[in-house]
Structure 1
């Protein structure tokens, strides 16, 4: 069990962020997370500091068990740090945040609901205006290439299409920050490449701040403007690499660019040859 647990939201939303903080969508400052088991105390994250600017795409890579998913839970407010601070747009994260979107490795769609109704589940949970939600869902369905499948059920969709539905659901309420936890890990290589291209396009069109956890070095370098490389447990950010590529990226061309090769080579050096999939 985590040493610090969730708390109810504060009556006071907290201090007003400064101009500099407002431009930072996600901020982690000297964050530590410690867990207590029956036998010992375990430090999952140690002294993690990272800033993500509004509209930026940052990927996080690291060995299994280093705390990458734990870091996303901290940003979402699903877990409290043992020490240090986590902020969204300058405001301390003290409880689950309604202003984020979250995409997991599995699409987790409801089998008895159609594509459209799976997407609109977000609206029902958040009590959004029905008219606005339907309009927004239609926009996202078109944006993600799901037009014609609005009334299909999950078992009628490929894995890649199911993940597109999950992405639409996460973006329905137009969150300023999107958290993605290995969202394409279960897909075959070709579908994963296609989803990478789609995600790059959607990110450029929406301007959403994205924090992506992945085990794939090439995926991280293709999608992100910067890649945060984490150490083995207790996880900490060992280096943040500036990929140095333009936001709009052709997949095949990007793979051959010197900036991409330099970034992936540096990530491999930091992780070790066997630490991450490519």
Structure 2
């Protein structure tokens, strides 16, 4: 009896480059980037504005084709849009006329999921994200943090093995953002989903991840990969005071030039 091999990497970006052509000039957004992410790993991606962080997410999702190199997802080459991932954007992008539950179930309708199983999964995610009691609320009745929880539920409805997140908490106030960091880390531990997160927040990148990948300025390359040596279960206040957290955030700032005297 044959046994299906389990890929050693959930995401593999192999010597990828991206070049754009405009009316005036050719632009190299990504010089050459190679990156592997293990199943169940949480990786944060940081770098200067315009270095191609969001572009890398589009490559993994199949929304964009590299100019050179290759991208593999769960052991298979990415040759077009992938339907077996989850994607969370900076804005929740909820439909104003649909309730919390119906916004989440929009994913099921688009994918043709079995309705009863989809509703059961939606209820599970609503409970997991602390939205119980708001199932019939409309988006305008929710805070920004709650709207992002709905977007996260929608992205996780079909149990994707890989979740891509593009600055999902960038529009939130500082306190709500911290709360969402704690919630996301807990949900990641409970689901075991592979996560690739793009963020401009150094503290967020380190708090959430197993590993932080720092990109250089455009045309980007990997400047350094930093292992985050923190406990798997992370109390937010204790983590902020942990020397390992300080060491990791300091190194990221050094690489980004944020620690230089002005």
TM-score by length of 2: 0.97
How far is 1:273 from its partner? Answer: 1.2
3-state SS of paired residue (1:24): coil
Which residues in structure 2 correspond to 1:104-253 (within 5 Å)?
A: 104-253=89-238
How far is 1:54 from its partner? Answer: 0.1
3-state SS of paired residue (1:194): helix
Q: Equivalent of 1:47, from 32, 36, 44?
A: 32
Contact 1:25 1:209 in 2 (8 A): yes
How far is 1:18 from its partner? Answer: 6.1
Distance 1:82 1:246 in 2: 39
Q: Equivalent of 1:85, from 70, 74, 92?
A: 70
The number of equivalent residue pairs is 258
The corresponding residue for 2:22 is 37
Distance 1:41 1:159 in 2: 39
Distance 1:106 1:119 in 2: 15
How far is 1:148 from its partner? Answer: 0.1
Q: CA RMSD in A?
A: 1.3
More displaced, 182-191 or 240-249?
A: 240-249
How far is 1:17 from its partner? Answer: 9.0
Distance 1:216 1:119 in 2: 27
Distance 2:186 2:8 in 1: 22
Q: Which runs of 5+ in 2 are unaligned?
A: none
1:271 and 2:260 are equivalent in the alignment: no
Distance 1:237 1:168 in 2: 31
The corresponding residue for 1:58 is 43
Distance 2:8 2:119 in 1: 31
Distance 1:168 1:94 in 2: 27
Q: Which runs of 5+ in 1 are unaligned?
A: 1-15
3-state SS of paired residue (1:236): strand
How far is 1:181 from its partner? Answer: 0.2
How far is 1:133 from its partner? Answer: 0.2
How far is 1:236 from its partner? Answer: 1.4
Deviations 1:111-155 (A, max 9, x none): 000000000000000000000000000000000000000000000
Contact 1:229 1:270 in 2 (8 A): yes
TM-score by length of 1: 0.91
The corresponding residue for 2:52 is 67
How far is 1:247 from its partner? Answer: 1.6
Distance 1:224 1:174 in 2: 20
Distance 2:259 2:144 in 1: 27
